[in-house]
Amino acid sequence: MVGQLLILLLSVLPKHALSRGAGWLAGRTIPVAWRGAVYRGYSRIFGAKPEEAEQPLEAYPSINAFFTRALKPGLRPLAPNAMVSPVDAAVGAYGVVQNDTLVQAKGRTYTLTSLLGDQALAQSFEGGTYTTLYLSPKDYHRIHVPLAGRITEATYIPGELWPVNSAAVMHVPDLFAVNERIVVLMDGARGGRMAIVPVGATMVGMTRLVFDDLHTNARRREVQRHVYNTPVVVEAGGPLGHFEFGSTVVLVCSPDCGVIEPLTLGVPVRMGQRIGALPSESQLA
């Protein structure tokens, strides 16, 4: 009931303006003397781990800088010869792409075509695997690359900014396909294709990429597609972008790019953890 009331309230509020306002507030400089107390207080409330931050807390000038902090080297080792989680998150969904359909929550589905905004592209993933990874306010907010390959294009798709928590997932139809998002496409180094889709949410100031200036919650609210004539070469675990608060990544893998292995709903994963298998040498022959 509380979740439904929250969704009803948000339906009449200006979510984009609220999110831009939250982003502005999170970017304000905090006096050095207050920073440690502010970030430790935030961490106690949400369960974040400030001791993992690469720099001393006083080095982060704003809440946004703390949200998007890098971690101390070595804290997220990469699983060898595997597809790895791009984020610290909880597993929200997992499955096989069948008849253009993905599961949003129990009893609720949406189409891959609506998520990617391209029917022909969606068809290229038929029979592949997918997972939805939810980042909460406690999580490390940077997004990394799941496997080695070449990023060929990225498309910003404007939309709503509903929350992406469990209440919203249960009550907002086609949530991930109606929210703001960026569709990043890459060709795997061993073949096949992957779509990495960071999805915006309420109070997420912006979702940004490291290799392009595309971002969510843009004032220019129209589809923006960037095709890279010289693809961006990336390695597993390399930087992809970040959320300026917390949100969701939908990962979709074509059958010839590898297989996302079965993931248990609600279980946390860490960036760099094995979540799937790459194509074997025999499959490449």
Please state the rounded mean pLDDT for residues 207-229. 87
Please state the rounded mean pLDDT for residues 50-58. 94
φ, ψ (nearest 5 deg) of residue 266: 85, -10
The answer to the question of residue 75 being in a domain is no
How far apart, in whole angstroms, are the C-alpha atoms of residue 246 and residue 38?
A: 18
The answer to the question of residue 153 being in a domain is yes
pLDDT above 70 as % of the chain: 85
Number of folded domains in the chain?
2
Same domain, 91 and 44: no
The answer to the question of residue 77 being in a domain is no
Same domain, 41 and 101: no
Same domain, 42 and 155: no
Same domain, 47 and 169: no
Q: What is the pLDDT of residues 119-147, one digit of tens each?
A: 999 999 999 999 999 998 889 999 999 99
The answer to the question of residue 169 being in a domain is yes
Q: What is the pLDDT of residues 164-201, one digit of tens each?
A: 767 677 777 788 888 889 999 999 999 999 999 999 87
Same domain, 130 and 189: yes
> Last residue of some domain: 42, 68, 94?
68
Q: State pTM to two decimals.
A: 0.89
Instruction: Find the domain containing 39 and state its range.
Output: 1-68
* Cross-strand partners of 194: 186, 253
Same domain, 112 and 226: yes
The answer to the question of residue 73 being in a domain is no
Same domain, 154 and 209: yes
Q: What is the pLDDT of residues 6-24, one digit of tens each?
A: 445 444 444 555 556 556 6
Please give the positions annotated as active site.
88, 144, 247
Q: What is the pLDDT of residues 238-249, one digit of tens each?
A: 999 998 766 899
Same domain, 25 and 119: no
**Cα-Cα-Cα-Cα dihedral sign, residues 65, 67, 68, 69:** positive
